[in-house]
Structure 1
């Protein structure tokens, strides 16, 4: 159980009592005084230097709140092309052309000069670098179990109904694994994949499952740059280049080799740090569009399952640790999804009054310029400020149970993984 404690003081701005759930730095729930404070004990380090981590947290908090204020009350699907989108697309195009230029130069050196010859000393590294920096197609998770429509017709039908209600394409592949998560992605060129973590899926109420499907299918049409092949270079190329150029520890046995390695590090280290800095800045800009896409996916979740179910699904993210503990406990006792749902519901029934401060706390602990998701509390507020939706797809408890029965074998496999 999570305790929300009063910090024993009052807000200097409005005089209200401050709170400190989970033994965090106190803040005022009324006016949010001190909510932006950097809590080094609760927020993981970004780079390991306290002064720099504090500064990065401040930047992330301001950027996140500024984007939230700009999008609140607007139709997210028609927010238009922003500066982040233009920068990400342009950078991806330039980086891709740079990789092509490396490959073309390497090939030219091979064919334009006698073989073998001194040109090989430059051609081979250029070709190797181009291969290492090339854009890569996504791959299906080898730990995921791919489902077949003839063995899971109820689940496939539900996914089709949600896709039709939202006007999104249905996934080409539906898979399950043993994670407390769910995701939608694209592998290859246009092979859409929906993967459901069974411990997470099995713990949700029926209408929350519809909300989860609505959110994940929304990623197929919400323009998230992380899931687009054309914008992949913005997220990977400079980071890979920095890793390739990072000097390795010297193991040179002789003085001459040690001097050569040292001179190499003098050149490699600053170049690697420069590329990493550019990579961090570019990813920070690109993720602004990813956060906008998450807000849009939440809106599509509300259209599919209703606003109440979509907000309830977001609240599960605030209590996923409690959910995982309950599910693992029941799994060790040999119980499946029916008992998972009951155990999670029992756990949450005693903590409903703790949700408002935890939503606010997420604004501090989840704010980061390098996060692909906005803070959960802001996503909840975004849905509260948007148009209220009735469910377009209703999943009854009976139908939800039939879906679970189709996945009996997969549930048992996930239960054994959790138990051990």
Structure 2
């Protein structure tokens, strides 16, 4: 149960009563005084040093709010290249060329010099480093259950309708799993588009919220999210991988010479590894600014497909995902399927409806971070509220939604057993 408690005292800025949710540090719901505060007892350590975590929180909060203010009321389309996009793209190209240079130099040392010879001593580590830093293309989650069109024609048809509504190509693979989540990604050298629906999440949503979920996830194929683009992938991985490769391993040497050698190695490796990791953090922080813009655009595409009301309702679901998980697990243990999952979650929604405005505000504090892939849920909701309202382009009836659940009956039962266990 989520508790809202009034706090003795008033806001020093506007004189209104301060409030608290979830035992968080109080803030003013009227003028948002103290909403920026770093709440140590509810924040996960980012760097492990309190003073640094506090500074990082305040910087992340300010950057997040500044981006929100800049984007509010402006086009969110992915065609404009902002500073974050340019920096991420240029850095990715430079890093890729650096890895290619390592590989090319290693190959040249092998084929361009007599073998065996002293050149092999340099060629091997260069090639090993290039292999360790090579671009990763991703792969399909082995725990995801891939569906066929013959197995779920209604679901495939709905996905294709929503894809047309948001201007996205249809996914090449549709899969389901037992996570309380959903995602879209491109995998492999051929960049096959994958849509994966977590059945506990999907099963607890209403029909139009399901359309909103599909609209958001399929929107990631056209919203310019740098996390899903092959060109910008090196910015997210290369420097971090290099830092891991150069990080000194714990010494197990016992001889004096070996211990001295290991110590000298650590003197060289440790500062270089930390420098690369620091550069990695800076680059990822910059790249994620554009990723957060892409999330706002995916929300707008969700609203175009399902209607603004359904898209904002889906964002409110995100604020209550813990309540959803409790409801779904409880009903799964009782032997019930998705119909009862949804009913139980709807009951929890009604019970907590009055707390939503403050939960939205609190999310701006607790979800703001230098390294968050998503903007705070409350700000995403405000962004949609401040834009043109949309009527549904795709309407999912209760009957059709029920037929989709019937198609997935076997998968639902597997997930229900997993949740019950």
The TM-score with structure 2 as length reference comes to 0.99
Equivalent residue for 1:305?
Answer: 306
Q: Indicate the SS of the match to 2:88.
A: helix
Q: How far apart, CA to CA, are the structure 1 residues paired with 2:49 and 2:121?
A: 40
Equivalent residue for 1:249?
Answer: 250
Equivalent residue for 2:379?
Answer: 378
Equivalent residue for 2:401?
Answer: 400
CA gap of 1:262–1:78, structure 2 versus 1, over 3 A, is: closer
User: Over residues 361-395 of structure 1, what are the superposed CA-to-partner deviations in whole Å (9 max), with x where a residue is unaligned?
Assistant: 00000000101100000000000000000000011
Equivalent residue for 2:169?
Answer: 169
Q: How far apart, CA to CA, are the structure 2 residues paired with 1:147 and 1:69?
A: 41
User: Over residues 105-138 of structure 1, what are the superposed CA-to-partner deviations in whole Å (9 max), with x where a residue is unaligned?
Assistant: 1111112322112222211010000001000111
Aligned positions of 1:225-236 closer than 5 A: 225-236=226-237
User: Over residues 193-218 of structure 1, what are the superposed CA-to-partner deviations in whole Å (9 max), with x where a residue is unaligned?
Assistant: 00000000000001000000000000
Q: How far apart, CA to CA, are the structure 1 residues paired with 2:47 and 2:165?
A: 44
CA gap of 1:245–1:78, structure 2 versus 1, over 3 A, is: closer
Q: How far apart, CA to CA, are the structure 2 residues paired with 1:212 and 1:140?
A: 20
Q: Which runs of 5+ in 1 are unaligned?
A: none
Structure 1 stretch 42-51 or stretch 109-118: which is displaced more? 109-118
Q: Which runs of 5+ in 2 are unaligned?
A: none
Aligned positions of 1:301-380 closer than 5 A: 301-380=302-381
Q: How far apart, CA to CA, are the structure 2 residues paired with 1:364 and 1:341?
A: 29
Correspondence 1:38 to 2:38 = yes
Q: Indicate the SS of the match to 1:161.
A: helix
Structure 1 stretch 14-23 or stretch 105-114: which is displaced more? 105-114
Correspondence 1:200 to 2:165 = no
Q: Indicate the SS of the match to 2:186.
A: strand
Q: Indicate the SS of the match to 2:40.
A: coil
Correspondence 1:279 to 2:284 = no
Q: How far apart, CA to CA, are the structure 2 residues paired with 1:304 and 1:113?
A: 61
- The root-mean-square deviation of aligned C-alpha atoms, in Å, is 0.8
CA contact under 8 A between 2:162 and 2:305: conserved in structure 1? yes
Q: Indicate the SS of the match to 1:350.
A: helix
Equivalent residue for 1:142?
Answer: 142
The TM-score with structure 1 as length reference comes to 0.99
Q: How far apart, CA to CA, are the structure 1 residues paired with 2:149 and 2:321?
A: 30
Q: CA deviation at 1:360?
A: 0.4
Q: CA deviation at 1:192?
A: 0.4
Structure 1 stretch 116-125 or stretch 51-60: which is displaced more? 116-125
Equivalent residue for 2:153?
Answer: 153
Aligned positions of 1:127-138 closer than 5 A: 127-138=127-138
Aligned positions of 1:15-94 closer than 5 A: 15-77=15-77, 80-94=80-94
Q: How far apart, CA to CA, are the structure 2 residues paired with 1:152 and 1:354?
A: 38
Q: Indicate the SS of the match to 1:229.
A: coil
Q: Indicate the SS of the match to 2:139.
A: coil
User: Over residues 259-303 of structure 1, what are the superposed CA-to-partner deviations in whole Å (9 max), with x where a residue is unaligned?
Assistant: 000000000000000000000000000000000000000000000
Equivalent residue for 2:11?
Answer: 11
Q: CA deviation at 1:324?
A: 0.2
Stretches of 4+ moved more than 4 A in 1? none
Q: Indicate the SS of the match to 2:41.
A: coil
Q: How far apart, CA to CA, are the structure 1 residues paired with 2:254 and 2:321?
A: 52
CA contact under 8 A between 2:85 and 2:290: conserved in structure 1? yes
Q: Indicate the SS of the match to 2:171.
A: coil
Q: CA deviation at 1:78?
A: 6.2
Across the two proteins, how many residue pairs are aligned to each other? 420
Equivalent residue for 1:221?
Answer: 222
Q: How far apart, CA to CA, are the structure 1 residues paired with 2:127 and 2:11?
A: 61
Equivalent residue for 1:104?
Answer: 104
Q: Indicate the SS of the match to 2:175.
A: strand
CA contact under 8 A between 2:337 and 2:413: conserved in structure 1? yes
Q: Indicate the SS of the match to 2:303.
A: helix
